Structure 1
Amino acid sequence: MKILKLKEVMDCTALARSTIYKYISEDFFPKPIPLGTRSVGWLESEVEEWILARVAERDEAA
């Protein structure tokens, strides 16, 4: 199990910070895990699942 920091999530998804947090508020993106008082991270597996779900949506639409 690996935890990704925001920069890594941004690199993996090609989304901006503001978009990631917008999607979180809309329950469209995995919620971060608190790591400390001012630090959060995301489970790599949840981010990968989210990406794969976008691919599946694309394939269903085609």
Structure 2
Amino acid sequence: MAQLLPMKQVAEKVGYCESKLYAMIREGHFPPGKKMATGGVRWLDSEVDDWIMRAYAQAPEARLRLA
């Protein structure tokens, strides 16, 4: 079942501070999240997990381990 995560949990999961993630969103390097009808923004945990896997796969040290 999909979970909706607030920015604080997203930042903890990704390992970046919230301001870094907001900058990455503005630059198009992180999913923008979904605006909720009740206010605020939430991220699907599966989208965050996908981003983490793509970022890991693109890291130079990951490519060395996969080779």
Q: Shorter-chain TM-score: what band?
A: 0.7 to 0.9
Larger mean CA deviation between 5-14 and 34-43 belongs to 34-43
Q: Once the two structures are aligned, what percentage of the paired residues are identical? A: 31
| Structure possessing the higher radius of gyration over alpha carbons | 2
Q: Which residue of 2 aligns with 1:3?
A: 4
Aligned counterpart, 1:49: 50
The CA deviation string for residues 2-25 of structure 1, in whole angstroms up to 9 with x for no partner, is 110011101101111110010001
Give the TM-score normalised by structure 2: 0.81
Gaps of 5+ in 2: none
Kindly report which structure 2 residues correspond to 1:1-62, keeping only aligned pairs within 5 A, or say none: 1-36=2-37, 38-58=39-59, 59-60=62-63, 62=64
Count of matched residue positions in the alignment of Structure 1 and Structure 2: 61
Moved over 2 A (4+): none
Give the superposition deviation at 1:37.
5.7
Partner Cα separation in structure 2 for residue 37 and residue 27 of structure 1: 25
CA-atom RMSD, angstroms?
A: 1.3
TM-score (norm. length: structure 1): 0.87
